[in-house]
Structure 1
Amino acid sequence: MGVIFSRTVFTRYTFLKGETMSASTKHDGGGGVFSIILTGLLVVTLLAMQPLPAQILTADAGPDLEVDTGTPVQIGGSPTASGGAPPYTYSWSPTEGLDDPTAANPIATPNTNITYRVTVTDAEGVQAEDEVTLRVRVWLYAISDTPPNQLTRVNIYSQSPTLNIVADEITYGGPAMAGLPPVGSVLNETEAAAIDPVNERAFIISNMGTTSALLLLDLQTGVATGIGFTGATDINALAFNPTSQMLYGLSSHQSQLYVIDTATGAATALPMPVTTTGANIEGLAFDHFLQPPVLYAVDEFDGTVYTIDVNTGEGTVAGVTQEGFESIEFSSDGTMFAAHNLSKLYTIDRDSSYAATVFANSLTIDGEGLLLNDGLSTLDDLIPVELAAFYAQTGEAEVRLFWVTATESENLGFNVYRSEQGMNDFVRVNSALIEGAGNSSSEISYEWADRQVEPGKSYDYLLEDVDFQGRRTRHGPVSVAVAALPSEIMLLQSYPNPFSVTGNNGAGGMGRTHIAFALARESFVSLKIFSITGREVAVLARRSYPPGRFTISWDGRDQAGNIVAGGVYFYSVQTPAGDLLKKKLLILK
């Protein structure tokens, strides 16, 4: 006799000599009864097998990864699905950047930070989900002016920023030019840098000769090729404006701004000095986040920060940061980076009196010139979206984003990115592209809610539009603080108060007042309106609410739908725990 079982554990049956016994078993194929008569054996043991419960279906989207922009990477687990009842089907979202959103392990080619979610469905219709976040590396390059004259870089969006050496020495690749070293030799006095992201060119300055020389730098090899001499002395800072395609240089000792011809290297001085205070300005960069881009400069000796008029060269004091910064650069979201002469990389918060914070305590970087190209939004002549407004409001345990487009040109749609305030680590939070209007010359209003926020935290949001060719432009950021929850329950004063049932209440709208309350935990809430004599006039809420802040409007009507008389009324909120709070409001006729 043979019996086959699967998904089993063992049950032990023991029979004595001469004993007849039958036993029933159940297994994947159904039940069965078998009998054994023992002859000639003292003891026989039968192992009967019984089924185990099915394993729980589990999805694994794989580990979070750091990748270079536009570099294909495989996502998903090993395996992506386990347990449950095979075979499995897979659905990845968003589908943007994926070669096959129905594969277990699709290939993703991200151009920006993105979180993918996989939904696994087994043969019995059971589903499981998991997420993976891809963070695109954004490289900030730095050049040094002292031996070993390295070219280094750091990923500014890494969770643990680490300095990477691209080239141990910046070398001169020709052509032979008097005042520059022989071809193949180390290029010294490299004191300024700027990047042209449109044409993928990196410019640097060498002050080895009697006048400053303009060169092109290969960011893969560290080899520089000469363009020409500027005719100006001691240019210590460079900045490139991709919108106007103009390169600017600044002589630190003269506080003089120049326009530099990128074909010949010749420099033309603007009519006015940046300042007449004898400053030593070393850092220069455009903030491309602003439109039009704004040119910033920083004084190494006293930390004065300037904005500079690119037509006249005149500087205006914008603030003061700490001393010692030799170069600055901006990311496309407006983050200001600065390299210190004590070999530390900082971020400077322009919203907090230009306070400087070490970017990474373990990171040392010698940055006479900083270069950053992280997908600037101002590179294309076509402006897919012109925004008329972009703002955020807190709602009931959520943040609502509102934006209005003045025009749209070949606009496919929008993405929303969120970061905890001050972290500058923006991650996409919308699961699918928010559909745009395509082409429009009239104003269109949009609204989107982020319900994955935490009470008591502050957030920054960026809005990204995507055109038909996949080009992206970011707007913002806008900031919003999510109110902390009360320790128990809180009832706020209604607004407007007093209000008119039939008149226009300004911010309150037409004949309405708004009553807000907040809960620390889920609770059943009763919100009622009473007359001055204690008579119940209206019931505005009688249901369960989750933790959070909520607003309910009242139009001045009683339960029968009649407009109440003018005068003093009270409103109260009550919970089963015995909490009872009251406030007064006044209705004008």
Structure 2
Amino acid sequence: MKKPTVLIISMIVCLITRMAMGATTLSAGDIAIFGVNTDTPKDFGFVLLVDIEIGTEIRFTDSGWLLPENTFRGNEGAIKYTAPSALTAGTEITLVANSADFVSDNDTTVGTSNFVLSASGDQIFAFQGESTSPTFIYAIQTNSNEWQATSAGSNDSAIPQGLTNGVNAVAVGFGAEAGDEYDNAAYDKSTMSGTESEILSAISKNSNWVGDNSTLYDLTTYNFSITGAAATPTITLSTSSLSGFSYYVGSGPSAEQSFTISGSDLTANISITPPTNYEISTGTGASFSATNPITLTQSGGTVSETTIYVRLKAGLSEGSYKNETITASSTDAINKTVTCSGMVSYAPMAGADYVEDFTNSAATSSYLDGSFVGNNGITWNYIHARNENGDDNNSGIDGNALMLRRVADGSKIYSSPVPGGIADFYVRLYKGFTAGGNRQVELFINDISKGTSIAFDDFDEHNFTVSGINISGDVVIELRNTTASQIIVDDISWTSYDANYVQEEIATSTNVSQAFTGTNVTLEFGEVTTGANVRVSKYSYAPQNVSFGGTVPTNYSDYKWIINAGNLAFSDGVIKIAVAGLSGITDPGTVDIYKRSTPGIGDFSKLTTGYADGFLSATVSSFSEFILGSDDEDNSLPVELQDFNAVPGNSKVTLNWSTESETENLGFNIYRGVNKNGEFLMLNAELIPGHGSTSEMQEYTYIDRNVVNGVTYFYKLEDVDYAGKTELHNKVVSAAPTSKESDTNINEFRLYPCYPNPFNPSTNIRIALHEPAPVKLQVYNLNGKLISTLLNTSLGAGEYNFTWNATDFRGTDVASGVYFIRMVIENQSTSLQKVLLVR
């Protein structure tokens, strides 16, 4: 607050939950604050108007209330009172006299500057629950005899929802203007005995208060007596807030949530009124019938416990729908409210092939560098980032997300190389923490900027989309924070470019059949009740992270389909796959369709599959990733190549490769050329034998001795299956044999400067080993991303020459720029050389 005096309360932080087991849940008007001294020693007192159980907690804050934001202004503090025993109505409690029962209870919403009452005018709010969704019990302000429209400064405040001035809140001061404050103010004791409602009414009337700017009031002299009276009509709710309502644009309403309501000692029926964007019903599921208002009829003064179902209305536009209140009212009863919060957002992406939702994120509450293996087996690296802070701004973040710190720290997130290229991109963005300042990110693909998000400084969800990127091959996806403020990213989504995909609109109808030309797929439906754009993507490479629920097929396809049906609602769905043109199928009658619920994650399950008229077919109730599998060995699968490299020697080049799995692999052929983009001729006279069908890693070596020292040779690898089908792999490796004898005086591991440097199109890399060792040669870009692994094998002592031809993992040319060649011996980096590619 404005005065520098700090109220120090000697307390031990109490590690207990917000409401202890068996504690009393209070409602507005169940206590009343009867005095405040902001001069030292700072003190306030309140009286219980109802009985409470041991462990009942009441929180007090001096943070003002903001409208229309409906949140605390912050930058203040809070304390918490815990009942040391069961207490009866009429018990008076003061901060000074009962200090042992209070503890500091600051948080990021009310502030962390401690509870300090200001002699320049202040407010106290009594509430239960979290600061983000408080249930208010009573309020007082000393800044004037009227509440303000909002909390424009540290000494004034609006009155929050659920409280009414003169009923369960009071504003005291000598005038109506902000600043017409009393340092000290107290109830004048005009009514000290009466019913709960009589005492509450007397204390909440500001004409019954006295004030002074120098004299303290003795708050220990109050002795209230709560007498019996006619029973007060009471409405009881099971909760005061419901949050987390959500749906994607066009797919509402939201899922239902519920609360219970009952009434006692009533003189009239209970009326329940929903807010503008929510609807309520006494029925659930198919029986949900939006009713406004719902009337619950009392019988003998009682309404038995009734469940009310709530949902966010359908048809809403994108945005947040927060702090909207359902109101329950009955004559002479205090109104009770349920505050609802939710949001409507766009789906991650129509037809997204990949979605990273940060479920596996390793980020903590500290800003660190780190990495995690996310969905689809993709490794994500982050710099100066932390977790999402639990959606502390109530922005609607679902589960884990990642907060990037600021541009000065180089804060960013980037992926490992992702196969399949990228066509379109999407990400959700949120404000991190509460400090003012624009938030913005920039998207990079393979170190090239592809767009910048719109700057924002609010607590809403923002969607950043970049369409038409259209880059093939392996891609590295990177998001950089371009501002000085924290920004949260979630649901990174993109579509592949390497896929052959077709998108068709399927309308509401019966007996629907839709072919997706070029993908081999036709979808059929008995009835479509909600139409949508459906995207079928066919990929020419094998599925990732393959596992099966149940029996594992002998073979499975090295191609796959991902089908995104958006919001399509249907019955009697059938997927049909034409076998014409699909590799590896000799007997389609023994082939089955397999499906898993999330692309790249989880087990594939075999669908009941039939074959007729050239189509495999299976019934489906949803769509995701599909492959083909078979237990017939005549239906073959290709080789899954894991590694391929070339090691130069004296008048020889040693080729090493390994496979992760093979199916009906007859063997390999080696092709060689002296120009990467020129002609390649078969090198081996006889087929290099394969291992047939195996799911275990296999290693191979071939030595090319028909070479000339000093000449750079390029090599490609081809596999051949039992049916004679060949597959030439994309990766090209190169090496230059040398006549230089090993230097017996080598006494260290050494990576020599690369030459030429700058270079185009290739540079030579020379290394020396003083003893046999496992060696890696790797290429990184300026941002520390791995571009290519040139060598990963064991070498004997000596000198070796290698060539990097400025390509990445898949043989795609890289852009001009600075790169680093790193030599790793026994998994420990020993040397680094910088090279410059100038195209």
Task: Pick 1 or 2: higher relative contact order, CA cutoff 8 A, min separation 6.
Answer: 1
Query: Same fold judged by TM-score > 0.5?
Result: no
Structure 1 length as normaliser, TM-score? 0.30
Q: If each structure's strand is expressed as a fraction of its own residues, which one has the higher value?
A: 1
Bigger radius of gyration, 1 or 2? 2
